[in-house]
Structure 1
């Protein structure tokens, strides 16, 4: 003969089984965001910036034939949309920037809808750093190389003794229509620029005082005071360009992806 469980025992068993379900339905633990870190020199994840025209008291805007707009992506997260026409520009500008020892790390999440395929040797910049000194340093940019029919990443510079150059490499193709986490390091000890893509180092792109793509003179950093993040194409072009940014951060240590 089968024994029936008493109503008290049955209720107790059901309450034990229900415990994990109740715990799982509670609020998830809060995750610390990058911008909550105390040791950053600058950070913007756009979550507190109103949608619409891209403006903030934290940063300036530098545009010509271009615009910045804060919008929501498919995940519902706010991102910065830079759009330019032809060889226009659209940059978020961090003014009054000062890094200890004139050295710092940067990190952005970025997606470019499409890179230029004309004219030959079309040159584009996504990150530009300037300051007291003639060199305009471009840690993240690239060039369309017609002999390879490819757009390639390359560190570059202009305005100083080394001339106008982009140190592109075949090992670093500029990939369109996908989100990438890009990190860079500016090391004043040897005027060195290093890059990482999605956490993987790209040593072929490294430049330094005596190893770069310009005139055979020393490459020297300015005393940085401005960092610009966005897009500029330098050659006349009839197309338009769309670039999205998220999780921009500058700091004294590598920030990571």
Structure 2
């Protein structure tokens, strides 16, 4: 009888502990030391940032009709909540940025609540890199294409000789309502921008010096000094846009998901 009672107690204890163990090791949980790996040029996982206004001494803020806030997600982990009203903007800015050879990799985990479907050809940016030189490079952005009734990812640029363009592709629909890991590479040897989604390369989105979506002149990187992560919509719009970010990282080598 004593043995049966002991086993019952042990079973009850194991049953109580099991959900905690499963929660701690579930695939959705944060990997420990996400920003501890060597060679990172910038990294922010928001775990040491207080809940509330999205500010830090480690990065700047650029907003107009928008805001940044650090909040807890359903798992209790801290994430950055970006919100923009109408055609506003809200960006976390990595200033005083310098990459070896002006080339670097980036990685973000991102979820967009909804993408714009008005007006026609509405254009949005999530990642932007600027510096010494006229081109504003947008490795992650997209556009609502009314002829296809779809929002599509595309690399883009503005402000330089190539003009204002977004190199969207039907093979890369912008998916709302779920977390994605997005990686990009800026390769100064050919002014090339490449993208991966959840570890899968999207070569259709690649642009380079001679192959891009703008005017028929060379596409040339500036000397990058600032990388911006957030949201901007450029056309008049009455919507509210909510975007969540986690594990933002920049590195001289590919970071991975």
TM-score of the aligned structures, taking structure 2 as reference length: 0.89
Q: Are 2:46 and 1:52 aligned?
A: no
Bigger radius of gyration among the two: 1
Map of 1:102-141 to 2, 5 A cutoff?
Answer: 102-141=102-141
Q: Quick one: structure 1 residues 72 and 31, their matched pair in 2 at CA, closer, same or farther if it must change by over 3 Å? A: closer
Partner-residue secondary structure (3-state), 1:204: helix
Instruction: Tell me how far apart the structure 2 counterparts of residues 122 and 148 of structure 1 sit (CA, whole Å).
Output: 13
What CA deviation, in whole Å up to 9, does each residue of 1:17-52 have, x standing for no partner? 99xx8xx99x98996422001210000000000000
What CA deviation, in whole Å up to 9, does each residue of 1:174-199 have, x standing for no partner? 00000000000000000000000000
Instruction: Tell me how far apart the structure 2 counterparts of residues 147 and 32 of structure 1 sit (CA, whole Å).
Output: 45
Quote the RMSD (CA, aligned, Å).
Answer: 2.0
What CA deviation, in whole Å up to 9, does each residue of 1:137-185 have, x standing for no partner? 0000000000000000000000000000000000000000000000000
* Structure 2: gaps spanning 5 or more residues: none
Partner residue in 2 for 1:143: 143
Instruction: Tell me how far apart the structure 1 counterparts of residues 127 and 161 of structure 2 sit (CA, whole Å).
Output: 20
**Structure 1 runs, 4 residues or longer, greater than 6 Å off:** 27-30
Partner residue in 2 for 1:176: 176
What CA deviation, in whole Å up to 9, does each residue of 1:92-138 have, x standing for no partner? 00000000000000000000000000000000000000000000000
TM-score of the aligned structures, taking structure 1 as reference length: 0.89
Instruction: Tell me how far apart the structure 2 counterparts of residues 67 and 212 of structure 1 sit (CA, whole Å).
Output: 32
Instruction: Tell me how far apart the structure 1 counterparts of residues 51 and 91 of structure 2 sit (CA, whole Å).
Output: 17
Instruction: Tell me how far apart the structure 2 counterparts of residues 45 and 144 of structure 1 sit (CA, whole Å).
Output: 30
Q: Are 2:211 and 1:245 aligned?
A: no
Aligned length: 239
